[in-house]
A and B are shown apart, each in its own frame.
Chain A
Amino acid sequence: MKLWNHYHTPATADEAVSLLAQYAGQAQVIAGGTDLLVDKRAEGGYNPHEALVDITHIPELCKIEEDGDFITIGAGVTHTQIVKSALIAHYATCLVESCGVVGGPQVRNVGTLGGNVAHALPAGDGTTSLVALDAEADVIYMGERKRVPIRDMYLGPGKSLLDSHRDLLVSFRFRRAADREATAFKRIMRPQGVALPILGCAVWVRLDETGALFEAARIAIAPIGPTPGRADEVEHALIGQPATIETVERMAELAQSTLHPRTSKYRATADYRREMIGVLVRRTLTLAIYRAQTGDIVPEGVGA
């Protein structure tokens, strides 16, 4: 049974946006399609999309670029491209670690980071790392090019700022990790049910010149609320603290006492998630400290 009637592969972002406009709400952006088409399949019944506008043939959207201290990733870049990028592995390690656990190879080969964000699941693995990287999204929103902080892309569970019948996600941009800065991502899954994390955690840390104290940190843990959030209390509490096991332990406890996860059916109880907050903060912070202190960076868990 067909899931769409017409299929377009524009060569430029402007062409894509004007196609969407021509269809006046009847066409939708598609990248890898590994969420969009599966969601359509899940609806059941006979209700194909009128038209799909495939953005993965637009060169601008399919590139990973370095621009001074910034890295730009096109919205049509696949998870596999990210996983294989030595640049991202070194300067935004958490993103490789999160993109490396999405689906299996076949899905990562076509599924895109842009699709992950556009799908707007609060615990999307790529999203969690983009939040820790404090990324911004370049979008074409209501016909205008705009730059939007990543967290503002999310209005609610599954609800994006962008209307994929009208708007276009162009790229993501974030500052690469400098010396004494490092990132890490880990998640907890269960072997049953839908392939969404019980909990994911990405951290970015900056140590002082001696490598002994935290100067700054960003900690993204999801899902906690309806949109991706950060552990603000923990981030503040970390500043100036020694980069030691004891601090990590205190921060894990602080995260557990200040974040309030919920129970989700067939995924996890709130109690379990609270336990996992401790586990993940411990595991990711320890790894990020090690990376920041040693510069020894090898992404973990890719393909797990």
Chain B
Amino acid sequence: MTRLEITVNGQYHDRDVSESRTLAHFLRYDLGLTGTKIGCEEAECGICTVLVDGVPVDSCIYPVFKAYGRAVTTIEGLAHGDELHPLQQEFIHHGAVQCGFCTPGLIMTSAALLDENPDPDEHDIKVALKDTYCRCTGYTSVIRAIQSAARQKRGLDPLLVNDPEVDEPMRVVSRSVPPQEVVAKVTGRAKYTDDYTFPDTLYGRTLRSPYPHARIVSINVDKARALPGVRAVLTHTDVPGENRHGLVYRDWPVLCDTVVRYVGDAVAIVAADSEDLAAQALELIEVEYEPLPVVADPKYAHSPEAPVLHPDHPTGNLLKHIKVRHGDIEQGFADADVIVEREYHTPTTEHAFLEPECSIGVPAGYPGHDKLTVYVGSQIPYQDRNQIALAVALPEESVRVIGTLIGGGFGGKEDIAGQIHSAMLATVTGRPVKMLYTRQESLIFHPKRHATIIRIKTGAKRDGRLTAIQAELYGDGGAYASLSDKVMTRATTHATGPYDVPNAKIDCYAMYTNNVPSGAFRGFGVTQSAFAVEQNMDLLAEQLGMDPIEFRRINAQKVGVTTATGQLLRESVGLLETIDDVQRDMQAHHNGEGFRWSWKEGHKAYAWGFACAYKNTGLGGGAPDKSEAEVEAYEDGTIQVRTAAADMGQGIAHVVAQVAAEEMHVAYENVKVLLCDTDLTPNGGPTTASRQTYVSGNAARLAAAALREAITQSAAEMMDVPPDTIRYEEGLLRHNGKSVKLGEVVGWMKQNGLNPRARQEYWAPKTQPLGTGGDMHVGFSYATQAALVEVDTDTGEVKVVKVLSSTDIGRAINPLMLQGQIEGGIVMAMGHCLSEAFIIEDGVPWTRLLSRYKMPSIKHAPEIVSHLVEHRTADGPYGAKGVGEIPSINTTPAICNAIYNAVGVRIYATPVDQDALLRAIRSGQREVYTAWQDVK
């Protein structure tokens, strides 16, 4: 400990501080200023940005003693009391806050910019925020918010909000109200898991396998246990219950016993008095491994010579063979005048949510905790509880999972991370145990997007009608099943694209390998198949001599079409309108000078590329899909909605609040939401499959309607009038001249022994398993996108200039925040197309650092023009369908189609390699089959 003098947010501190502290740790853990978030500790993501003497720095690797005598400003120091800084206000106003985890960093970086440059243009903003990442918003709203705040600081009116047009807005539904907790998020008060503190907390860490495949010969933890300050060291022998977890197949060891199957597999866990002691303890654990042959790719995994990784699995390394059979495939190709067959490759990709995984286990009996409790930002709290309970051998009712705010998920927070480990360590030590993963650990540990190999053959008649699609997909499922079965099923069933295809034969092989497990990731397999489907569509159009838009229009799904899985589409198929919207915008871009697919300006080649997509809403495939919500009214006139439906930034919290406000006829501001506490909120089911708005939105709607009924009854009794004559008006219940406040009715109900609370379960319409025909899904969202791409023909560099988008989402419950889903989804997909690949070399990850995984930064953000199409779906709340995933599906093929139109080279593997692209341009090659990761 050494004396440190420092001023933080105007307050002078003179105190003893460890010389080893970073500024971020000092702020968060010594001063409790947890508004400063830590994303990578590599000076890469920028979300930890604070100002030192007004200058933005990455506090995560900034030694606190470097700031000796300086003045530090954090997000907590920006607002003046309750008066928000213009940036904080405008981030809210323009919908630039989703998960909120990067928000403090974005705002602080922007604050420094505005201090230096009161009128920044878009370029200035892109320069200033180049290294401050946001994974949710796609940056469009961020840029607008900063410019708007700059105007306000200069005494001008703020910029108008780019609020999308919607049909039939209701009182609260289809209005762009601010999301829940948004003020806490912009001021740094919002609490994510690592922001919670409990006295006597221990720090947990995990010893992970360095081998992709090895037999565990022995584990010796004696030296680690002997280290003073180490409170527990646990291995597989210490797992009280079932040493396996998993969402679909229970194949993933809580702690490996005989074999490790990937680099990152957990072998032992420790809890110690400090993070450093825990890290030291890991070094003292002696594990003897006997390396085994590595299964590094899914095709090899399928071969007879490959070692079998899960001997208990009945089909060996073949986790699942998924089949779609529709019509007569041979006849389909016999009918075709033109056939295109190609092979496409997509890599493993990483969610890179900005908040690394964190869980805190709190033992039963610890003050305020009557049962074993785990705090975690998880997408599936009830399934976490189930999996924890099985592993620690407790009944589910003896475990409580409390969902905290989630700093991004995108599918990557569905599987168990540290939930079971922290619960075990807390139980053993009798103290709270925090397990915060480092970014580097997060990268190697958690399930990713499946790498795929997709061979696809598409046939069409001369008139442009598709006759058949045949496809073979390989998905690299990695070491454990996670959600591979479901994800690859979606890749398979969506491999026709959103088209009317009379004959289809699609086979998918989801394989076990010794790579990092693959699981859920926004787009859920459809992102991969769309890359293949939509490029084959352009190839066919070219061979037919047809306009690619017209070709898609001819084949577009519409009401009355039966999908390849046998589902008759009866309603809500807005694909053609989305095509119309985008085509109109493409023409408008050329300002009446005549549309051109491509053109050249010096050494820059420009072109448009076009692609369509569809994506199911809900679990489907026969899985029971239900959600439960509870709504309670209070005497102060407020209501609370409770459901365990996780909000990772996508906004289910404001969706259920808006729905309840609509049904209850109260102001949105009077609705509070409590999510994801397994003791206090009923099960909303997993946040996956773009399902929450549909399923939990409906549950909230039903619960709110039921409560309204009950309150109306009571009010009728109070006023002594018939219930059907009572009207609601902003918190008042009226009958002729009389009125009573909602809160007064609640008080009356309580006095009369009535519960002002309603709980309802919503079951989505029944679906059918794949292969049985009928409705496999409750509905589909549709999208069309066009990308305008610039290719530098000197260097092969590719830039996305503009993306035009139109999306049929049934109804926009919150248009502005929904638009944020679309913009964010597009930019995320752009990353998959142009920059992102998680590289694994013979089972060993090369991408061990965030600095080796480049996601789109603000400088890559294109102009995005987004339209909404609202083909209501009968069962969705007010007609709404899912939106979470659909924007991330067709961006990649749209960009690749544009590259082809610009320079005549087709891309068969992502992310696009400028090196190979340039060499192809120079040599007159028309096809590139290699991606960046193939540069060796």
- Partner-B contacts on A (CB < 8 A): 1-7, 9, 30, 33-34, 37-38, 41-42, 44-46, 48, 52, 54, 56, 80, 103-107, 109-110, 188, 190-195, 198, 263, 265-269, 271-272, 275-276, 279, 302-304
Contact = CB atoms under 8 A, between A and B. Distances in A.
Given A3-B20, A41-B41, A105-B127, A192 B282 contact: no
Contact of B935 (A30, A267, A302): A267
A298 B418 CA distance: 53
B56 A109 contact: yes
14 contacts: A1-B438, A3-B20, A38-B42, A41-B440, A44-B440, A109-B55, A190-B915, A192-B911, A193-B854, A193-B932, A269-B919, A275-B795, A275-B918, A303-B127
B130 A105 contact: yes
A3 to B, nearest CB: 7
Contacts of B936: 263, 265-266
B438 A105 contact: no
A276 to B, nearest CB: 7
Given A33-B61, A54-B63, A105-B109, A7 B20 contact: yes
Nearest to A267: B935
B837 interface: yes
Contact of B58 (A80, A107, A302): A107
B835 interface: yes
Given A191-B860, A192-B932, A106 B849 contact: no
Contact of A263 (B276, B851, B935): B935
Contact of B43 (A38, A276, A302): A38
Residue among A5, A45, A110, A279 with max Cβ neighbours from chain B (10 Å): A110
A193 B852 contact: yes
Residue among A37, A80, A265 with max Cβ neighbours from chain B (10 Å): A37
Contacts of B915: 190, 198, 268-269, 272
B823 interface: no
Interface residues of B, number: 64
Interface string B38-59: 0001111010010000011110
B852 A110 contact: no
Which 10 pairs of residues, A with B, have the shortest CB-CB distance?
A104-B131, A303-B127, A2-B20, A272-B915, A191-B835, A46-B279, A104-B130, A192-B932, A7-B19, A37-B61
B42 A192 contact: no
A44 B66 CA distance: 23
Interface in B1-50: 18-20, 41-44, 46, 49
Given A103-B131, A190-B915, A54 B66 contact: yes
A55 to B, nearest CB: 11
Contacts of B55: 80, 109
A192 B68 CA distance: 37
B174 interface: no
B278 to A, nearest CB: 8
A303 B41 CA distance: 22
Interface of B: 18-20, 41-44, 46, 49, 55-58, 61-63, 65-66, 68, 109, 112, 126-128, 130-132, 275-276, 279-280, 282-283, 438, 440, 794-797, 834-837, 839, 846, 848-849, 851-852, 854, 857, 859-860, 911, 913-915, 918-919, 922, 932-933, 935-936
B810 to A, nearest CB: 35
Nearest to A273: B915
B46 A106 contact: yes
B482 to A, nearest CB: 24
Contacts of A33: 61-63, 66
Contacts of B276: 1-2, 46
A40 B425 CA distance: 29
Contact of A269 (B127, B848, B935): B935
Contact of A109 (B44, B57, B849, B913): B57
B130 A7 contact: no
A109 B58 CA distance: 9
Contacts of A9: 65-66, 68
A272 B921 CA distance: 12
Contacts of B835: 191-192
B849 A42 contact: yes
Contacts of A80: 55
Contacts of A271: 919
A276 B795 contact: yes
A3 B859 CA distance: 31
Nearest to A199: B795
Contacts of A275: 795, 918-919, 922
B860 to A, nearest CB: 7
A9 B61 CA distance: 16
Nearest to A303: B127
B282 A46 contact: yes
Contacts of A303: 126-128, 130
A1 B280 CA distance: 9
B319 to A, nearest CB: 29
